[in-house]
Amino acid sequence: MSSIMTHVLIETMIRARLNTKKEKSVRQSGMKVSYRKKDSLSEEEIVMLAKEDPTYFDFLYRKHFQAIFLFINRRTAREQLTKDIVQNTFIKAMLNIHKFEYKGFPFSSWLYRIALNELNQYFRDKNTTRMISFDSKEIPETLEIDDEQVDKDALISILMNEIDQLKETDLLLIEMHFFEKRSYKEISEILDIKEGNAKVKVHRIKAVSYTHLTLPTICSV
């Protein structure tokens, strides 16, 4: 399904939910729906309004569509599959936005968690594993390796082997922290784990790679 069709579907669902809410509002109090200019509102305010008025969700959809698309596409490398998962992500977000609460994390973190759950569900249903996609040349710079004594080619080989052995959660940690430059705080929200746990896991994975090279010290993350 194309992104245009996805947007049409989202808009159709918004209209359907809006009509339902309008009918309910008229029946209960006869109140009319009033609209505020979205560009004068913070995202937190828009999210709160979207819980009562689905038309505000369209703003959230347009704002975050590209980021969610890239997040999923990096993990599938298949455009059509990415579009399907992105569509399911926003539909689920719209239907469950009333459950979202601000707890110090941006709305996008909640979207990423939904997208990740949809992605994982797809691979579970297909009983298959996904590939991690990145350029191995990025690794030395990404891991801030500047020690001339380190055999960077050897380290890359070790890291690639370690990545193949990682559990899904640990793989996501590597992707999000090293290659997507996400903070531990945001990672903990997306993966629904404690921030300290995320830090420990990343340190441990990096330490294993350096240990294989018999380095005397381990660089901190």
- What are the tens digits of pLDDT across the range 118-177? 999 998 888 877 666 555 555 545 555 555 555 666 666 766 676 667 777 788 888 888
The predicted pLDDT at position 99 comes to 93
Domain containing 150 — which CATH number?
Answer: 1.10.10
Query: Does 165 share its domain with 145?
Result: yes
Residue 52, φ and ψ in degrees, nearest 5: -105, -30
The predicted pLDDT at position 178 comes to 78
Query: Does 177 share its domain with 73?
Result: no
Q: Which amino acid is at 42?
A: S
**Domain end call among 102, 126, 150:** 126
**Domain end call among 126, 148, 163:** 126
Confidence of residue 211 (pLDDT cuts 50, 70, 90): low
Residue 194 predicted with pLDDT over 80? yes
Residue 221 predicted with pLDDT over 90? no
The predicted pLDDT at position 203 comes to 83
The predicted pLDDT at position 92 comes to 95
CB 171 within 8 A of CB 132: yes
- Angle subtended by helix axes 57-76 and 107-126, to nearest 10: 40
Residue showing tokens 């249903």: 125
Q: Which domain holds residue 118?
A: 3-126
Q: DSSP 3-state helix, strand, coil percentages of the chain (rounded to 5)?
A: 70, 0, 30
For residue 217, is it within any domain?
A: no
CB 189 within 8 A of CB 113: yes
What's the pTM? 0.71
- Residues 14 and 86: their CA atoms lie apart, in Å, by 16
Residue showing tokens 């660089």: 219
**Domain end call among 99, 126, 153:** 126
Query: Does 44 share its domain with 117?
Result: yes
CB 112 within 8 A of CB 190: yes
Query: Does 113 share its domain with 38?
Result: yes
SS3 51: coil
- Residues 170 and 206: their CA atoms lie apart, in Å, by 11
Residue pLDDT, tens place only, 31-82: 333 455 666 788 999 999 999 888 899 999 999 999 999 999 988 888 999 9
For residue 131, is it within any domain?
A: no
Residue 30 predicted with pLDDT over 70? no
The predicted pLDDT at position 135 comes to 56
CB 155 within 8 A of CB 139: yes
The predicted pLDDT at position 24 comes to 46
Q: How many distinct structural domains can be found in the chain?
A: 2
For residue 220, is it within any domain?
A: no
Averaged confidence pLDDT in the chain: 76
